Amino acid sequence: MTSPWKALAAEGALLVGALLLQQTLVHWIALGSIRPDITLIALTAVALRRGPVAGLYAGMALGLIQDIYAIDTLGAGALSTCLVGYGLGFFEDKVVKSMPATRILLLGSALLAHDIVYYLALGFRGEVFWGSLLRETVPSAVYTLLVGAGVFYFFARFKSRET
């Protein structure tokens, strides 16, 4: 039985590791401008494990840290990430027993919701909004779903071996 503090430290390390991977590894595995969102995969894992409040705090922390690198859009990333973390938290493992396939579906929904809120926070500009969703969001979402499916499948197998 792990203590709550150890679990909290492990999830904090997961989020910090995801941020580091997003800033370093993603440049090497990008397909042109299409990049997976490692931080959103980690946020999904934390929010589904801990619930809406933890998802909100984790999303806010991730969004603010990522907004430091994009100062011209300050606040849009934090808003979208914290709302997505909060929404994902309602599908907490204690409430909904989720299989890896359900987690992938939730991750896909989170990716779309994140980018819609992000682009709306930047300002709805008609064709620019729809063009950004089609050219950037959909390909990146597919790539992130493939990476997330591998991560969730790996951890589901790892967890089943523990029990």
Per-residue pLDDT reduced to its tens digit, 52-111: 999 999 999 999 999 988 878 888 999 999 999 999 999 987 766 767 788 889 999 999
Whether the CB-CB separation of 95 and 128 falls below 8 Å is answered with no
**Alpha-carbon span 9 to 11, nearest angstrom:** 5
- Average pLDDT over the chain reads 88
- pLDDT given at position 161: 60
User: Which has the minimum average pLDDT: 47-51, 65-69, 157-161?
Assistant: 157-161
122 pLDDT higher than 90:
no
Whether the CB-CB separation of 89 and 50 falls below 8 Å is answered with yes
Whether the CB-CB separation of 140 and 114 falls below 8 Å is answered with no
- pLDDT given at position 127: 78
pLDDT exceeding 90 applies to what percent of the chain? Answer: 58
**Alpha-carbon span 9 to 87, nearest angstrom:** 22
- pLDDT given at position 159: 65
Whether the CB-CB separation of 60 and 29 falls below 8 Å is answered with no
pLDDT exceeding 70 applies to what percent of the chain? Answer: 93
Please count the CA atoms within 13 angstroms of the CA of 82 that sit on its side-chain side. Answer: 16
139 pLDDT higher than 70:
yes
